Structures are given as C-alpha cells and as structure tokens.
Amino acid sequence: MTVEENTKAILEELGEVKLVSVTKTIDTDRINESIKAGATIIGENRVQEFDEKCDCIPPCEKHLIGHLQTNKVKRAVELFDVIQSVDSLKVAEEIDSRAEEIGKVQKVFLQVNIGNEPQKYGFGTDEIAQAIKDIQALKNVHVKGLMCIPPFVSPEEARPYFRNMKAIFDEMKQANQGNIDIKELSMGMSGDYKVAIEEGATMVRIGSGIFGKRDY
C-alpha cells in the first residue's frame, strides 16, 4: 500500500473523527503525498525537525505532538497552529508570553498523563483541573482540547485508560468559558486508534499506519 492509499483508506474509516498524519522522520515528498490524498492535519514531534522541513510542505494545519522544551517555545509558537503537548504550567506561561509578543493567540491541547506514569510527560489525572484553572489567566493561550498517550500495552489493555480519559474530558469541558474551549480529545495511534475511537476520541494520531515503519 502506498502513502496515498493508506491515507485515503484511513480517512474513509475515520469518518467524522479527525486524522493527524504523524510525519516525524518522514521526508517532505511522502508528507506531500499524504496531504494530496486528503490529510489536512500533520503532527510533528520536534520543533527543529519541522523547522527544517516546513518550507516544503503545502498549506495544512500543523500540530506539535512531542514534548516542548522552554527554549524552543518561541519557534514553536511561530510554526504551529496547535501545540497538543502542553504538559506543564511553566510551558503554558512561556507560550502565553511568546504568543503575546507576536500578537498571536496560540491554540493548545493539554497533555494528560493518563496512566500517571512517573517517566511520562503530562498533567497527572489529579492535576488537570487545577492546571485548567491556572491557564484561565493566560489570555494568549486558548485551550481547545486534551491529548493523552496511554501506557504501552495492548489495545484492549489500553481501553480502560481511554475510557477514563473520556470521563476526564467530559468533566473538564464543564470549565469551558473564555479561553477554555475544550472540544477535541486526541488519543489513539496506529496500533490502538480503533479502540480509542470506540471510547470517544475525536482525533487520532497515525504515523506508521500511513507511512510504514519508521527507521530512526
């Protein structure tokens, strides 16, 4: 299957659910194939890698899905339409001030560490409500959704994490007002997106399912 065929097949299968075509390590020719086949959102993990590729990518929505270091925030705000991987108040504050400097309102998702794994980035399940309260004060940041990466387990074992994430999503949506406008739930990757959708994902992030196995 080609990138084009994979993209078309997945888009058809997803229906209303949004696709993020995950393009880390993928060259711009193959990224363009996916966009030509109908992908409208691409997801990159690293600011610098995307910076080197972005001039050769046709118009589309650009999402950052990897951990963001404070010293890369300025460039990330210049490059990305949505930063899905906001995982601390500190990085949210830095995004706010960099966005203000260039007169931008930066759309973000908040990353939830749904398995509360010590080695993983994201707000803990007991921290996310307070994080949203704190971010209400940051006027150049608009919270449009939540994102999670469950523990690395089989799709069926991931199901309870997706289900819990959906419950948190529904609860956090009740905070929607002003700059808090939570609408998207970004969860599910190539191996487990079907389960994620069954549990309420509105957006999935698929890399190898479109481009094949990555060679790092």
Contact residues for ligand PLP (CB under 6 A)? 22, 24, 45, 65-66, 149, 189-191, 205-209
What minimum distance in Å lies between the beta carbon of 185 and ligand PLP? 14
Give the C-alpha separation, 35 to 175, whole Å.
34
What minimum distance in Å lies between the beta carbon of 105 and ligand PLP? 23
Q: Do 92 and 130 contact (CB within 8 A), yes or no?
A: no
C-beta of 140 vs 197, nearer to ligand PLP: 197
Give the C-alpha separation, 216 to 210, whole Å.
16
Residue with tokens 């001030």: 97
What minimum distance in Å lies between the beta carbon of 137 and ligand PLP? 27
C-beta of 20 vs 143, nearer to ligand PLP: 20
Residue number with the shortest CB distance to ligand PLP? 207
What minimum distance in Å lies between the beta carbon of 189 and ligand PLP? 4
C-beta of 66 vs 166, nearer to ligand PLP: 66
Question: Which of 19, 17, 77, 22 is CA-nearest to residue 47?
Answer: 77
Q: Which amino acid is at 114?
A: I
Work out the burial of residue 124: count CB atoms within 10 Å of its CB; fewer than 13 is exposed, 13-18 middle, 19 or more buried: middle
C-beta of 63 vs 98, nearer to ligand PLP: 63
What minimum distance in Å lies between the beta carbon of 192 and ligand PLP? 9
C-beta of 92 vs 140, nearer to ligand PLP: 92
Q: Do 135 and 143 contact (CB within 8 A), yes or no?
A: yes
Give the C-alpha separation, 101 to 19, whole Å.
31
C-beta of 60 vs 175, nearer to ligand PLP: 60
Q: Which amino acid is at 35?
A: I
What minimum distance in Å lies between the beta carbon of 25 and ligand PLP? 9
Work out the burial of residue 49: count CB atoms within 10 Å of its CB; fewer than 13 is exposed, 13-18 middle, 19 or more buried: middle
